Structure 1
């Protein structure tokens, strides 16, 4: 298992890589200090949750100021259009909601043409459309050579961005992975998890499939049609149903074998998705794909590049 003893050693050891860390605010501030020291001679842009802009400035004047300050040829009007800020360009920043303020900050960062971007909780305030715009900008900037270091987000969000997602345990930073590795490899599927259609059951026998989960001391049984997606995070597997997550003792390999005939697909080594719930497949760059679901939260989950062709072939997408 790839790990580092601290967030400082992670940033130093992965200095030419995009890293995305699920961590607390104090760890974020330690990471910020490390980035400032390590990259002090490079062009950096920073965005913390406490960065709310100048309340009395309009969006346009604020971005023009930072465009001039950057010394680049970046155009504030282009950034306004790119980040969907045209409807609020003349509005005072103090009148914006949290999502709009976040987009102003991303626009501000883009104007600096940064070599290094440090962002705290990058997707936290964003709805589906704004999230797509932001992920596209991160993916495209990363392909042009910008390094991204993000902190504070849940691991699910970290997995959506180019680079490696990390989680913390007793101050150690551990690279995110599942217990079985990539979707095209890993352990053999136990006999108990094989598709019931391959068993010795009578042809007319009704096969009832329920996914067993726990909520506190209560055991829950979910019909596959209720499930939006399944994810593996921090060595545990969770079933997402109507916006709530429930832990299951089943492995992803077992769940994949059990649910494939119900229209589920292993879209990433850490995710199984109910394809009936997929509303949109987005490609940000040639190596970056995500799925947006039609659940209540409009969840976004990663689609591995190596799984795109299989998904299109099996489901006609």
Structure 2
């Protein structure tokens, strides 16, 4: 009787991926995200200053970490509104692994802040404000939004506090962003340059409180292990996900549950922008004309520019 060959473990990409895993010895789940080329595709077109780019990169990594728990068809939106020099961050994640995002900031104030601040990090750039996480589990499911205030706090810590306070789930999150030079510094080849990278680790106990079975001890142990992760480990594509999980949790019997490839996307289209413009009256459209007699609209997410003439809009609307 033939014997089936043992199935090989799934191949985990080194980059642009979320890996969901569980501890087989406890009721604890986790996710690890690595972002490379996909991050460049989202952030680079905006041409934003370094600090704003790092803030958006972290927001995208956190959106992928949190949103990857949703079922297929779900969506997570992470939004910050603050009084800082980076006043708005938006990161969208769809459960199929697609990401988009943008940041709003005052360029002059951000430059002055970076030059004068002794600690020009993301938390100080955001300042005081609120974090809103909107969860949409998919068609037929009710959308849910939770809002949490924060003051000069790390973004990853604020997201973890959201789950602890709003969902009553013990949560640990660490994220990291950096730039990596691709190519030789001595003999650079065409196309070699600095590439933005982001990574993150999230572990979460599905037991909302301690009990007599020692599950609270499980959480304390795993949280301590997770806290030993270093930024370079989260960011280095040369360190495989399998090796990193083994390094952190080798006694916890980690099992990979899902592998979600990540990619950039945008929902904008010429037709959608045109429909928005057609909702305005003739006088309002005339006020939107530039010096060339055209109406230009730039998508905040992907920076794609759409140009329309009044005659074109009149013809479509008639």
Q: Shorter-chain-normalised TM-score: which range?
A: under 0.3
- For normalisation by structure 1, the TM-score amounts to 0.21
- For normalisation by structure 2, the TM-score amounts to 0.21
The structure richer in strand per residue is: 2
